[in-house]
Amino acid sequence: MKKRTLMTDVEYFDGLTPISRKGYILPYMSNIQLVLQDESGKKENLYIKYDEITEISKLENKSKIELKGDGNLSANRLIIFREIETHNLINKYWAANKKSTIGSIFIKFRNLSNIKKAALAAILAPCTLILILLFFDKSYLLLPLSVDKKFGALVSENLLSNSNVIDNKVILRALENINTRIVPETSSYKYKIKLVKNPAINAFALPDGQIIIFTGLIAASKSPEEIAGVLAHEISHVELRHGIRQLIRVMGISYFTAIVIGVGFEGAEIPETISEIANILIYVKYSQEFEKEADLNAVSLLHEAGISIKGFISFFDRLIHNEKTPEILSWISTHPDNKTRSDYLKEKLKQEKFISGKLISNDNWLAVKKIINNI
């Protein structure tokens, strides 16, 4: 015998016509009895199994049970009622009747209020963030070095086609000599230095091992050790695979901000603007991290090669004096400011216990400077 249960008035839509029928339901553990009454008082009995239910939801004070359609015309059927006790009871029976545990956990999660869902998700989100930082950020290890090389070749093709590349044997040989001393023995890259005519004090490395130095940088350097510092920094970018890691990060960051900000509001412009700003800020933050990593690695490379980092430091110290960027802008710059860089390098200088010899001869250095000044 079935136990007594909650009897609840309902409105029933059969999915075939827009006109509803009145009746009541009796929810039991194994099924729900639906009794429909027409105007003449004639009764019709239907038994609904729990696996016919596709969704139970509540909107304001109306509860809604959606059922799979019966017969060929698979229009779904709908039961609407107002009693909250009945709603909870049916929900409980529905979850209990789910055969798989995943299914019932899923229902339990779905039945949580949105605020509870948000709280639960807010707890899980930092875990995901950590996982992303741990794994996603290491995903470059899965890419072979040949990817870096192809990527670098692609960039250099676009970059150097519009630049004035200077092929001066004396300067290039001097730079190569310094470079060869710094490159670690275990390196799997073939380094190639290119000199570009440009007054800016700048140098950069491409992921395939090409190092591009502006004439302005050599003109601004006071000693070969200063250039050695810059080269060590650029070599570190290549060895630590910063190019490809930056690419993965930029793609990842724009993916995540795009999916998280504005999901469900497609077509609205505001979320897009917000996610673009977020992109830039996170990108800048990461970029500064890479620069610091390259600086510190440069220190190790220089020390292993027996070169003092004093030149590296004096280079930054001189830049501080010429600096025009107000300090407040440093947090949107891709590099840490020169003062900060000089400070942590000076900290490293304390570890230096050796006296370094000459990198290149004085005559050679003077010849380099003379040529640079005439370019």
Contact between 259 and another protein per CB under 8 A: yes
Structure letter (DSSP) for residue 261 = T
* Among residues 1, 18, 42, 144, the one that binds another protein under rule CB under 8 A: 18
- Give the whole-angstrom CA distance, residue 248 versus residue 149: 15
* Among residues 102, 134, 141, 263, the one that binds another protein under rule CB under 8 A: 263
- Please report, as residue ranges, which positions from 43 to 62 form the binding site for another protein (by CB under 8 A): 59-60
- Give the whole-angstrom CA distance, residue 372 versus residue 375: 5
The count of chain residues that interact with another protein, using the rule CB under 8 A, is 40
For residues 40 and 74, which CB has a smaller minimum distance to another protein in the complex?
A: 74
Query: CA 336: distance to chain centroid?
Result: 21
Minimum distance, C-beta of residue 110 to another protein, in the bound complex (Å): 11
Minimum distance, C-beta of residue 78 to another protein, in the bound complex (Å): 4
- Please report, as residue ranges, which positions from 73 to 112 form the binding site for another protein (by CB under 8 A): 73-78
* Among residues 3, 4, 17, 167, the one that binds another protein under rule CB under 8 A: 17
- Give the whole-angstrom CA distance, residue 337 versus residue 323: 9
Query: Please, are residues 48 and 12 in contact by the beta-carbon 8 Å criterion?
Result: no
For residues 200 and 260, which CB has a smaller minimum distance to another protein in the complex?
A: 260
Span from 30-38, 146-154, 252-260, 350-358 in contact with another protein (CB under 8 A): 252-260
Give exposure, 111-128, as e/b (b: 16+ Cβ within 10 Å): beeeeeeeeeeeeeeeee
- Give the whole-angstrom CA distance, residue 11 versus residue 24: 8
Minimum distance, C-beta of residue 123 to another protein, in the bound complex (Å): 9
Report the helix count and the strand count for the chain, using DSSP H and E: 12, 11
**Gyration radius of the chain over CA positions:** 35
Span from 39-47, 196-204, 268-276, 309-317 in contact with another protein (CB under 8 A): 268-276
Minimum distance, C-beta of residue 340 to another protein, in the bound complex (Å): 29
For residues 121 and 366, which CB has a smaller minimum distance to another protein in the complex?
A: 121
209 phi-psi bin (left φ>0, alpha ψ -120 to 50, beta other): left
Site string for another protein, 114-143 (x = CB under 8 A): xx-xx--xx-xx--xx--x-----------
Minimum distance, C-beta of residue 260 to another protein, in the bound complex (Å): 5
Instruction: Outline where DSSP puts E strands in 60-154.
Output: 62-67, 77-81
Q: Which residues contact 139 (CB under 8 A, 6 or more apart)?
A: 248
Sites of contact with another protein (CB under 8 A)? 13-20, 59-60, 73-78, 114-115, 117-118, 121-122, 124-125, 128-129, 132, 255-256, 259-261, 263-266, 268, 270-271, 274
